[in-house]
Amino acid sequence: MNVDRYRERRARVLQAMAELGGGVAVHFTAPERMRNRDSEYPYRYDSTFWYLTGFAEPDSAIVLIAHGARREALLFCRDKHEEREIWDGFRYGPELAQAVFGFDAAHAIERIDEVVPDLMADAPALFYALGRDPALDGRVRDWLRKVRAQSRTGRRAPATAHDLAAIVDDMRLVKDADEIATMRRAAHISAAAHARAMRACRVGMREYEIEAELLHEFRRQGAQSPAYTSIVAAGANACVLHYPAGHAEAKDGDLVLIDAACEIDGYAADITRTFPANGRFTAEQRAVYEVVLAAQHAAIEAVRPGADFNAPHEVATRILTQGLIDLGLLSGSLDGAIESKSFRQFFMHKTGHWLGLDVHDVGDYRQGVAVGEGVERPWRILAPGMVTTVEPGLYIRPAPNVEERFHHIGIRIEDDVAVSADGREVLSGDAPRLLTDIEAHMGR
């Protein structure tokens, strides 16, 4: 573990706090959640907490102090506990965690209600992501009340509050070379899982059987977990955007849409591929696939430094809409269909989102201020280190204006694209994407 990476991140936050007048920042990791009686969900730390600490244990919090000349980072974590370690495994404890993870001090989590109010007293501001967890919000309010109750002794509670996420989210949005390398590995493993699912797929398989192929490959290559609930959708289910892997059978002539990827050291991949259950696209499936593929290719080309975030979506929307007109699924002119938004019958989502420690990662999509009343803020400008998905799709449900031969064709193609100094890098390009490559890979 590169401890200096986390120290440097904390130092950047402390500097940003100082530039805003200074104060105390508090951020908790995610709590453990019960799944059912005496059994928890698999634990996953809070992404921002991990970003600043590299510390994966639950029941932890970080406190940053930028007050006057003081610049300190404190960790609160579980104490050593011999019996609980027999049952649940190793714990660092405050003393070892301080040394290993490079903190200025560390305390048992049980002391946080005692220590933090004293740190907050006379601090100019509180930096805290208010509104994320009502229970934690209540705890922070209790600390403020405790400080205010000491007003007769001359102590003052912070007079200003800042959202800590406003500082950290912009840091997380731009990845360094190590982060990109981790995401590249997650994408490589995820692409191999998609390729495995294509090879394994047979007519008559259930969606959950295909999902098992994905999960096997994730773990076989060392991924800690899926990055999100896998979508494995056969036939008509491919037209349901967030359909989870279920019990439906992949029938002859069906398409199978898989949106699935793994997580490595907290960093997510996010890949979608669509392929025929029998290994051969029909003429209609092929025609729709070519439209989506052309839209994705153009959208990927639109990812470059200096372009705005929405540029790939605008390019993809025009190509998809023209394709729908050419297929006879829409009528009229291209500009008319875009202005009326009639394309949204078949394409109803954005073409991408930020990717990183969260599969829908942090970072504003717009920035600055609006240029006039009723005008939205301008789109964020892409810069090296940002990572976005590019995922156009078409979802053709039965409708009066849709010929039966197109019914239930749902196609999405999604890749992970890192903005580089000279353009872009497609991190997930190993997964078969071209029609000929998919059919050849499936070998039917």
Is position 349 annotated as part of the catalytic site?
yes
Concatenated DSSP letters of 58-70: SS-EEEEEEETTE
Selecting among 139, 280, 349, 397, the annotated active-site residue is: 349
Selecting among 179, 211, 213, 391, the annotated active-site residue is: 391
Selecting among 81, 360, 377, 444, the annotated active-site residue is: 360
Distance CA 219, CA 216 (A): 5
Distance CA 285, CA 325 (A): 16
- Neighbour count for residue 274 (Cβ, 10 Å): 27
Is position 414 annotated as part of the catalytic site?
yes
Pairing of strands 255-260, 231-234: antiparallel
Selecting among 242, 247, 404, 422, the annotated active-site residue is: 242
Is position 360 annotated as part of the catalytic site?
yes
Is position 437 annotated as part of the catalytic site?
no
Tokens of 102: 């490079």
Q: Which one, of 427, 396, 358, 405, lies nearest residue 45 by Cα?
A: 358
Is position 270 annotated as part of the catalytic site?
yes
34 phi and psi angles, rounded to 5 deg: -75, 135
DSSP annotation of 404: G
Under a CB-based contact definition with an 8 Å cutoff, are residues 119 and 63 in contact? yes
Selecting among 4, 37, 38, 373, the annotated active-site residue is: 38
Selecting among 207, 209, 213, 270, the annotated active-site residue is: 270
151 phi and psi angles, rounded to 5 deg: -60, -30
Is position 335 annotated as part of the catalytic site?
no
Dihedral sign for Cα 150, 155, 159, 165, please. Answer: negative
Query: Integer distance in angstroms from the first to the last C-alpha of the chain?
Result: 45
Q: Is 86 exposed, middle or buried (0-12, 13-18, 19+ CB in 10 A)?
A: exposed
Selecting among 395, 408, 415, 439, the annotated active-site residue is: 395
416 phi and psi angles, rounded to 5 deg: -100, 125
Q: Which one, of 294, 291, 293, lies nearest residue 273 by Cα?
A: 293
Is position 395 annotated as part of the catalytic site?
yes
Selecting among 217, 361, 414, 415, the annotated active-site residue is: 414
Q: What is the dihedral of CA 32, 36, 39, 43, to 10 degrees?
A: -30
| Strand ranges (E), 252-322 | 255-260, 262-264, 267-268, 271-276
Distance CA 318, CA 440 (A): 30
Distance CA 188, CA 356 (A): 15
DSSP annotation of 249: B
Selecting among 169, 259, 415, 416, the annotated active-site residue is: 259
Output the CA angle 322-381-338, nearest 5 degrees: 20
Residues taking part in catalysis: 38, 242, 259, 270, 349, 353, 360, 391, 395, 412, 414
